[in-house]
Amino acid sequence: MRDHVKRMYEHFSKVSTSYNIVRTTDVEPILYIREKLNHKNDVRAIDVGCGGGRYCLLLFQYIPGLHLTCADVNDSMLAETFRYLKRHGMENFSTLQADVSDLQLPESSMDCIFTFNAIHHFDPMLFLHKAAKALKDKGYIFIYTRLKSQNARSIWGRFFPGFSEREKRLYDFAQVEQWMDSTSSIQLVSTEFFKFKRSATLKQLIAQAENKHYSTLSLYPADVFDQAVKGFKKEIRRHFTDLNTIEWCDENVMIVFRKG
């Protein structure tokens, strides 16, 4: 196992039980998906890189007749997904431990394939190739992520020392357009940009950082991370007068492919 892959596995194992708490989950991308599906009442789908299941729950709440496979390489995250969905009364799901390289799905078996804030953890070309084979005709692939430029404009990209420089896994839109060349059976049909107003106290932001709510923060050596936290506090105090009401915007993009 390569060092950075092992590091990510250990990171997500460590944060699995707190991940759904420290991460922000937005309903808007799910509403966008529901509209794209035209309120289809029977949907067989897989969420690849499901994490702790926070978006899985929203999918169940807003997409009727959903039968969902929750897939992730990390067994601790999958255990949390199982507990999380069961605790909220969900039944029509299964869990699957697999990396994209190991993912084996029956051909033409899925109406939708989702991935939320996870595409940077695996090979997008391989993902699209396997997803295209698994989709039924007219099926959709929904990729929800942050672009490099969006990450740089976040409060972490702007004020947390080294954040944008250490996060080398994200893509820019020119790279997204190149994904279309990975398979001829799917087409890029739409992109939707999301912008969310956020507000937090400095104390809340520091708690998020210390809980490594973004995996980027796990890439810092311990001593460098401690210095970065001090630098972050200094920058926030310099740019915001009210440390109990720090406001910014987060940005994401939904990239939609369709088969046939």
Task: Dump pLDDT digits (tens) for 92-146.
Answer: 999 999 999 999 999 999 999 999 999 999 999 999 999 999 999 999 999 999 9
Task: State pTM to two decimals.
Answer: 0.95
CB 161 within 8 A of CB 231: yes
For the chain, which domains are there?
3-197+251-259 (3.40.50.150)
Predicted confidence (pLDDT) at residue 41 exceeds the cutoff of 90:
no
- 3-class secondary structure, 99: coil
Q: Hey, which residues does 194 pair with through a beta bridge?
A: 252
- 3-class secondary structure, 196: strand
Answer positive or negative: Cα dihedral of 216, 170, 146, 138: negative
Q: What is the DSSP string of 206-223?
A: HHHHHTT-SGGGGGS-HH
